[in-house]
């Protein structure tokens, strides 16, 4: 390699943003949009994403609106697929926060900040980590009885085996709560293209375990409560470097 071509390569490396490393961290932020502020919020959030792009933020940021359930209308954004350490090295945290205060906070009320760990061995597909979000996603939260995590995960292993033999099954991605809420808690994200996808597949976890009574007992004994909701993906309120 000549001196000139080597210099050009070095310049290219300096100007290109550094890609985040792959990892199991999944950070979710929940906001209630203030009454009558939806349009202003979306405009401000787009400006804030512009700040991230302008500062070559290597982290992925997905944006959804909750379409049903108790949190109907809430906005959720998330950064997933990096090591947990990536959040120790975010791009200019102080300026990021200042820009968020100006462009977003006037129009929302923060509700929660939740950090999960991806469970790849229990998941049947990981669209978000592969940067291929679905148009909608069916999200179910499972609150467990303390000490039942091992039994619950055995049930998930059995469900995974059934999904692998079901041609019509959409991706099922599992996360375990690390911090930010009541534990033990798990979150399941089922990728959905549209409502028609429910005609092809709408089995819940109990349905998948119908023919495995041991796994079904593990599941029913472990789960204390569960709730589900639909999220609508917004490509214009997301950033995929």
Residues in the chain, total: 241
- Rounded Cα distance between 240 and 233, Å, is 13
Residue 5 lies in a domain: no
Instruction: Please check whether residues 169 and 109 belong to one and the same domain.
Output: no
| Per-residue pLDDT reduced to its tens digit, 164-202 | 999 999 999 999 999 999 999 999 999 999 999 999 999
Instruction: Please check whether residues 61 and 77 belong to one and the same domain.
Output: yes
Distances (CA, A) of 187 to 13, 48, 143, 148: 38, 28, 9, 15
Instruction: Please check whether residues 47 and 99 belong to one and the same domain.
Output: yes
CATH code, domain carrying 215: 3.30.70.100
- For 177: left if phi > 0, alpha if psi spans -120 to 50, otherwise beta; the answer is beta
The count of domains in the chain is: 2
Instruction: Please check whether residues 148 and 196 belong to one and the same domain.
Output: yes
Confidence of residue 237 (pLDDT cuts 50, 70, 90): very high
In this prediction, what percent of the chain has a pLDDT beyond 90? 91
The SS3 assignment for 181 reads coil
pLDDT at res. 65: 98
- Helices of type H across the chain: 3-15, 38-54, 93-103, 149-164, 197-200, 205-208, 213-222
Structural domain including 67 reads 19-117+233-237
Instruction: Please check whether residues 179 and 217 belong to one and the same domain.
Output: yes
Instruction: Please check whether residues 113 and 76 belong to one and the same domain.
Output: yes
Confidence of residue 224 (pLDDT cuts 50, 70, 90): very high
Instruction: Please check whether residues 122 and 225 belong to one and the same domain.
Output: yes
| Per-residue pLDDT reduced to its tens digit, 129-165 | 999 999 999 999 999 999 999 999 999 999 999 999 9
Residue 176: name the closest of 206, 142, 134 by CA: 142
Instruction: Please check whether residues 77 and 137 belong to one and the same domain.
Output: no
Residue 136 lies in a domain: yes
- Rounded Cα distance between 11 and 94, Å, is 28
**pLDDT(21) > 90:** no
Q: What is the b/e burial string over 123-135, where b = at least 16 CB atoms within 10 angstroms of the residue's CB?
A: bbbbbbbeeebbe
| Per-residue pLDDT reduced to its tens digit, 91-141 | 999 999 999 999 999 999 999 999 999 999 999 999 999 999 999 999 999
Instruction: Please check whether residues 86 and 163 belong to one and the same domain.
Output: no
- pTM as predicted: 0.90
Instruction: Please check whether residues 112 and 157 belong to one and the same domain.
Output: no
């Amino acid at each position: 390699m000549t001196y000139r071509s080597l210099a050009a390569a070095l310049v290219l490396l300096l100007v290109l943003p550094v890609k985040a490393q792959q990892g199991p961290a999944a950070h979710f932020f929940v906001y209630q949009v203030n009454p009558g502020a939806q349009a202003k919020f979306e405009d401000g959030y787009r400006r804030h994403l512009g700040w991230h792009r302008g500062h070559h933020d290597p982290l992925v940021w997905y944006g959804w609106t909750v379409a049903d359930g108790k949190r109907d209308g809430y906005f959720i954004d998330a950064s997933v697929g990096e090591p947990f350490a990536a959040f120790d090295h975010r791009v200019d945290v102080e300026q990021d926060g200042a820009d968020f205060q100006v462009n977003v906070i006037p129009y929302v009320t923060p509700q929660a900040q939740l950090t999960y760990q991806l469970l790849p061995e229990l998941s049947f597909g990981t669209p978000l980590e592969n940067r291929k979000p679905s148009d909608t996603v069916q999200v179910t939260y499972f609150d467990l009885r303390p000490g039942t995590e091992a039994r619950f995960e055995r049930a998930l292993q059995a469900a995974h085996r059934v999904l692998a033999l079901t041609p019509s099954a959409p991706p099922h991605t599992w996360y375990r709560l690390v911090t930010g809420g009541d534990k033990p808690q798990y979150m399941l994200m089922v990728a959905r293209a549209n409502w028609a996808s429910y005609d092809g597949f709408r089995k819940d976890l109990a349905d998948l375990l119908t023919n495995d009574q041991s796994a079904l007992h593990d599941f029913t004994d472990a789960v204390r409560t569960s709730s589900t909701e639909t999220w609508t993906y917004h490509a214009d309120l997301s950033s995929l470097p």
